[in-house]
Homo-oligomer: A and B are copies of this chain.
Amino acid sequence: MQKYFVEPEQFGDEEVIITGQDAHHLVRVMRSKPGAKFIVSDGEAREALVELVEADSEQVKARILEHRATTAEAACRVTIAQSLPKGDKMELIIQKCTEIGAVSFIPFQSDRTVVQYDSKKEAKRLERWSKIAKEAAEQSHRNRVPDMKPSMSVKQLVQAMEQYDLVLLCYEDERGTQIRDVVQPYATKVASVVDKGEVLIIVGPEGGFTAQEVETFVNAGAVSVGLGRRILRAETAGMLALTCVLYETGEMGGV
């Protein structure tokens, strides 16, 4: 069943109004008729099974059949800080990590970032990425759309680190500590709490981090971890690290 996110003010007690691209998707793409059922969420706490009452391509009115309290959100809130990769790889990262369960994305500039930062393009790019996150959240039945933060410098990212209780730096030259060495004790520590903390995963660009950047992050409290013996592409490391954290904190059974 298709899911759509609406603004809280569109979400009434008995009725929901869907507008914009979602209305277009419902009417023109899905060709939904009165009586068609789908799920609506306000991206916060409310979610409902609804039935289409009337629609044109501008606006869809739907009646709430059943309020739902279930959540598809992970107890451990993971943010992906990704040094901007080339081409459209950031889009793949956002789509896949949203499906897997990330709650937030921070694009950042590091020494070996190839992509030139362009403040004029920034707004347009954030808008495009937010759209991808929204669509992926809808398709994967998330209760919330991940946040898309504006681009940061390494310095700004280091300052933002204090909001997290575990910061993992994915570093392909890390020979000692592997990700499980860190995530396993962390998961044990948070096992008894309902809200399993805030984790930040930092991933480098195609050329990796410089030794100085690694030192900067580690001095600020990040733990440098390896992700196995195979070299991962820039866009693969985050998905894999995110999967490991959610697996170990109990999102996929076994606890």
A residues in contact (CB < 8 Å) with B? 71-72, 74, 92, 96, 99-101, 139-142, 177-181, 183-184, 225-233, 236, 239-240, 243-244, 246-248, 250-255
Residues on B with C-beta less than 8 A from A254 are 178, 180-181, 183-184
* Given contact pairs A96-B239, A140-B232, A226-B253, a sample of 20 additional A-B residue pairs in the complex whose CB atoms are under 8 Å apart: A71-B229, A74-B228, A92-B92, A96-B236, A99-B231, A99-B232, A100-B236, A101-B230, A139-B231, A140-B230, A141-B231, A142-B230, A180-B253, A180-B255, A181-B253, A184-B254, A228-B252, A243-B244, A244-B252, A247-B248
Q: How distant is the Cα of A183 from the Cα of B231 in the complex, in angstroms?
A: 24
Residues on B with C-beta less than 8 A from A251 are 228-229
Known: A231-B141, A247-B244. A252 touches B179 (CB 8 A): yes
Interface centre among A92, A231, A247 (most CB of B within 10 A): A247
Residues on B with C-beta less than 8 A from A225 are 253
The reply to whether A99 and B236 contact each other, CB–CB distance below 8 Å, is yes
Q: How distant is the Cα of A101 from the Cα of B231 in the complex, in angstroms?
A: 10
Q: Out of B180, B229, B240, B247, which one reaches A180, CB within 8 Å?
A: B247
Q: How many copies does the complex hold?
A: 2
A-B contact pairs, 17 of them (CB 8 A): A99-B233, A100-B232, A101-B230, A139-B233, A178-B252, A180-B247, A180-B250, A180-B253, A180-B255, A181-B253, A181-B254, A226-B252, A227-B252, A228-B246, A229-B251, A239-B240, A247-B248
Known: A178-B253, A243-B243. A72 touches B142 (CB 8 A): no
Q: How distant is the Cα of A40 from the Cα of B65 in the complex, in angstroms?
A: 63
Looking across the interface, which residue of chain B has its beta carbon closest to that of A244?
A: B247
Residues on B with C-beta less than 8 A from A239 are 96, 239-240, 243
Q: How distant is the Cα of A248 from the Cα of B72 in the complex, in angstroms?
A: 23
Known: A100-B240, A239-B239. A141 touches B179 (CB 8 A): no
Known: A184-B254, A244-B247. A230 touches B178 (CB 8 A): no
Residues on B with C-beta less than 8 A from A250 are 180
The reply to whether A72 and B229 contact each other, CB–CB distance below 8 Å, is yes
Residues on B with C-beta less than 8 A from A252 are 178-180, 226-228, 244
